[in-house]
Amino acid sequence: MSKLVEGKVALITGAAGGIGREHALMLASHGAKVVVNDLGGDVSGQGEDLTQAQKVVEEIQAMGGEAVVNGGNVANFEDAKGMVDQAVDTFGDLNILINNAGILRDRMLFSMSEDDWDAIMNVHLKGTFSPTHHASVYWRNKAKAGEETYGRVINTSSPSGIYGNIGQSNYGAAKAGIAAFTVITAMELAKYNVTVNALVPAALSRMTAGLIGMDNLTDEQKEAMSPRWQAVTAAWLCSEEASNVTGRLFDVRGNQIGISEGWVLGPTGTQPDDPQDLGPLMAELMSKATLNANMGGIPSGGTGRPENEI
């Protein structure tokens, strides 16, 4: 059986543990050469340690694959360029970029500091933009030179970003920005044979381990929430088979996968001139509009899975 990404070169950020590690191992098992990027900080973004990233490289090498460590900071524009350059200099090309690096600074809005906000925006939003920018420059230059390009970008959004979650206004705003970034850059890069998609993961990792209920899971439940399932979707999206899939967000919860559909225009009406007369129309529009989704992606008040479940 042929491998999905045989001979392709992948750069994966935040790849020392959790979902990123699973991406690295999965792509390597399907023939990719991997740059394992991770600054090695803690969940809040403090500190640096390349030990775990090196262990992932050694795991890949033990299975007969090729991998190198990169300890750059995704929030640093020049470090991000260095990651792309390292992939090209080491393995001769770059075909796959998975933007996975992330931190948490959960606070209620009234308790959130400026640093809590800025740190999340830097790592998640700028940390997605920066590697993608430099990768896009590389692919565009190849295309303009008449060379064949093969580009796959997988970003990492979150249910907190597209559905909303209390205590994560910083994290959710960044993840919502990543969702929009995915849709827009997919349009911009299509002509260079580059697809851009995003995962909306629900998985057990060090970033979710402290959430309510996550510390009481059975072994069976832990397996069902394994971050490995995220890598299954990502690996397929990086393949030739997914060449016509772009600008999409994939909600992956264990082995369950769905497509998160974006904002759409709902009921409409014509405003009166005087805002005092707007109430009846607003009441009518609100009665017809679909409620915002809960963290399960289901309109609030709904139960079970969507009606279009396969």
Render pLDDT for 194-203 as a digit per residue (tens, 0 to 9): 999 999 999 6
**Sheet-wide strand order for 67-70:** 67-70, 33-37, 9-12, 96-98, 151-156, 194-202, 249-253, 256-260
| Buried b or exposed e, range 121-147, using 16+ CB within 10 angstroms | bbbbbbbbbbbbbbbbebbbebbeeee
In terms of pTM, does the model score above 0.75? yes
Question: Of 104, 4, 113, 90, nearest to 46 (Cα)?
Answer: 104
Beta strands (DSSP E) in the chain are 9-12, 33-37, 67-70, 96-98, 151-156, 194-202, 249-253, 256-260
Among the options 138, 150, 163, 171, which is catalytic? 171
Where residue 223 falls among pLDDT bands split at 50, 70, 90?
low
- Residue 48 has a pLDDT of 78
Q: pLDDT at residue 274 above 90?
A: yes
The pLDDT value given to residue 217: 65
- Is pLDDT of 212 > 70? no
Please give the Cα distance from 153 to 155 (Å, whole number): 6
Mean pLDDT computed over 210-235: 75
CA distance 45 to 115: 11
Judge whether 163 counts as a catalytic residue: no
- The structural domains of the chain, ordered by start, are 9-260 (3.40.50.720), 265-310 (no CATH)
Q: Is the pLDDT of residue 1 over 80?
A: no
pLDDT given for residue 206 in this prediction:
54
Confidence check: pLDDT of 233 > 70 = yes
State residue 227's pLDDT score.
Answer: 93
Helix (H, G, I), strand (E, B) or coil at 272: coil
